[in-house]
A and B are shown apart, each in its own frame.
Chain A
Amino acid sequence: MEYIEFKLNGDNMKYEGDASDRLLDVLRDTYKLTGVKCGCKEGECGACSVIIDGRLANSCMIAMGSIQGSDVMTIEGFSKTERFKVIDKAYGDVSAVQCGYCIPGMVLATECILGKNPHPTETDIRRGISGNLCRCTGYNSIVKAIGNAAKEGEGLW
Chain B
Amino acid sequence: MEKIGKSVVKKDHAAKISGVAKYIADYPTDGILHGKFLRSTIAHANIKNITVPELPDGYMIVNKDDVLGENKVHIVLEDMPVFAIDTVEYIGDPILMVLGLDENKVEDIVSKIVVDYEELPAVLDMTKSEVAFFDYHLSKGDVDKSFEDADRVYDEVINTGYNEHIYLETNGMIADYHDGKVTVSGSMQCPYYILKAVQLATGLEKDKVQVKGETTGGGFGGKEDYPSILACQVAVASMKAKKPVRVIFDRREDITSTSKRHPSTARYRAAIKDGKITAMDINIIYDAGAYSTLSAVVLQRGVICANGVYKIENLRVHGKANKTNTVPKGAFRGFGAPQVFFDVELFMNHIAKGEERNSIDFKKEHMVMQGDATSTNGKFHFHVPLNEMIKEAEDLSNYKEKKELYDKPQTGRFRRGIGMALAFHGAGFTGSGERDLIKAVLKLKKHQSGIVEILSANTEMGQGLHTTLSKIAGKELGIPFDEIILSNPDTDEVPDSGPTVASRSLMIVGELVRRAAARLKDEWIDGEEQIIEEHYKHPDFLIPFSLDNFRGDAYPTYSWSVQVMEVEIDMLTGQHNVLGAYGSFDVGTPIDMNIVVGQMEGGMLQGIGYSSMEYMDHDNKGRIRNNSMSDYIIPTAMDIPVIKVQVHVAEYPEGPYGAKGAGELPTVGVAAAYIEAVEQALGKNIDHIPFTVEDTMKTICSKED
Chain A: residues with CB nearer than 8 A to chain B?
A: 28-29, 32-42, 44-45, 47, 74-76, 79, 84, 87-88, 91-104, 107, 122-123, 125-127, 129-143
Contact = CB atoms under 8 A, between A and B. Distances in A.
Contact of B17 (A42, A97, A99): A97
A43 to B, nearest CB: 8
Interface stretch (B190-198, B294-302, B516-524, B595-603): B595-603
A84 B219 CA distance: 28
Given A34-B26, A45-B629, A95 B594 contact: yes
6 contacts: A91-B13, A97-B13, A126-B638, A133-B168, A133-B629, A139-B637
A37 B462 contact: no
Given A39-B251, A99-B217, A139-B605, A92 B17 contact: yes
Lowest 3 A-B CB distances belong to which pairs? A35-B19, A99-B462, A100-B16
B601 A138 contact: yes
Contacts of A142: 637
A107 to B, nearest CB: 6
Contact of B605 (A28, A29, A35, A138): A138
Contact of A74 (B19, B23, B464): B19
B76 interface: no
B636 interface: yes
Interface of B: 7, 9-10, 12-23, 25-26, 28-29, 165-170, 215-220, 250-251, 461-464, 592, 594-595, 597-598, 601-606, 628-630, 634-638, 640-641, 643
A149 B220 CA distance: 29
B606 A99 contact: no
Contact of B461 (A36, A93, A99): A99
Contacts of B25: 34, 38
Nearest to B10: A95
B35 to A, nearest CB: 17
Contacts of B12: 97, 100
Given A126-B638, A130-B636, A135 B602 contact: yes
Contact of B628 (A34, A44, A129, A140): A44
B464 A95 contact: yes
Contacts, number: 168
A149 to B, nearest CB: 12
> Main SS of chain B's interface residues?
loop
B282 to A, nearest CB: 31
A93 B9 contact: yes
B18 A100 contact: no
Given A36-B19, A79-B19, A137-B601, A100 B462 contact: yes
Contacts of A98: 218, 462-464, 598, 602
A38 B630 CA distance: 15
Given A99-B216, A126-B638, A140-B601, A134 B168 contact: yes
Given A28-B26, A134-B637, A137-B602, 6 more contacts: A41-B251, A79-B17, A98-B464, A101-B168, A104-B17, A133-B634
Nearest to A146: B637
Nearest to B28: A32
B218 A99 contact: yes
Contacts of A33: 19
Nearest to B633: A44
Nearest to A99: B462
B451 to A, nearest CB: 23
A126 B602 contact: no
A122 B641 contact: yes
B637 A130 contact: yes
A97 B166 contact: no
B630 A44 contact: yes
A101 B218 contact: yes
Contacts of B10: 92, 95, 97
B600 to A, nearest CB: 8
A131 B630 CA distance: 12
Contact of A40 (B461, B601, B629): B629
Tell me the interface secondary structure of chain A in the complex. Answer: loop
Contacts of A136: 168, 218, 462, 598, 602
Contacts of A129: 637
Given A79-B18, A88-B18, A135-B220, A102 B9 contact: no
A37 B23 CA distance: 9
B217 A101 contact: yes
Contacts of A38: 25
A39 B168 contact: yes
B604 A138 contact: yes
Contacts of A93: 9
Contacts of A39: 168-170, 251, 629
B633 to A, nearest CB: 9
A76 B634 contact: no
Contacts of B13: 91-92, 95, 97
Contacts of B170: 39
Contacts of B630: 42, 44
A75 B18 contact: yes
B250 A100 contact: no
B248 to A, nearest CB: 8
Name the residue among A38, A39, A75, A97 with the largest chain B CB count within 10 angstroms. A97
A100 B637 contact: no
Contacts of B251: 39-42
Given A44-B629, A91-B13, A133-B636, A37 B169 contact: yes
A104 to B, nearest CB: 5
A97 B16 contact: yes
A88 to B, nearest CB: 6
Contact of B218 (A92, A130, A135): A135
B341 to A, nearest CB: 19
Nearest to A125: B637
Nearest to B250: A41
A133 B630 CA distance: 12
B607 to A, nearest CB: 10
A70 B51 CA distance: 47
A104 B20 CA distance: 10
A34 B22 contact: yes
A120 to B, nearest CB: 12
Contacts of B29: 29
Contacts of A135: 165-168, 218, 220, 602, 606, 634
A137 B598 contact: yes
B489 to A, nearest CB: 16
A52 B14 CA distance: 25
A129 B12 CA distance: 22
A42 B165 CA distance: 18
A123 B642 CA distance: 11
A42 B628 contact: yes
Contact of A45 (B28, B168, B216, B606): B168
Nearest to B25: A38
A95 B634 contact: no
A39 B23 CA distance: 12
A94 B592 CA distance: 11
Contacts of A42: 251, 628-630
A74 B14 CA distance: 16
Nearest to A143: B637
Contacts of A74: 19
A91 B464 CA distance: 14
Contacts of A92: 9-10, 13-14, 17
A108 to B, nearest CB: 10
Contacts of B23: 37, 101
A134 B218 CA distance: 10
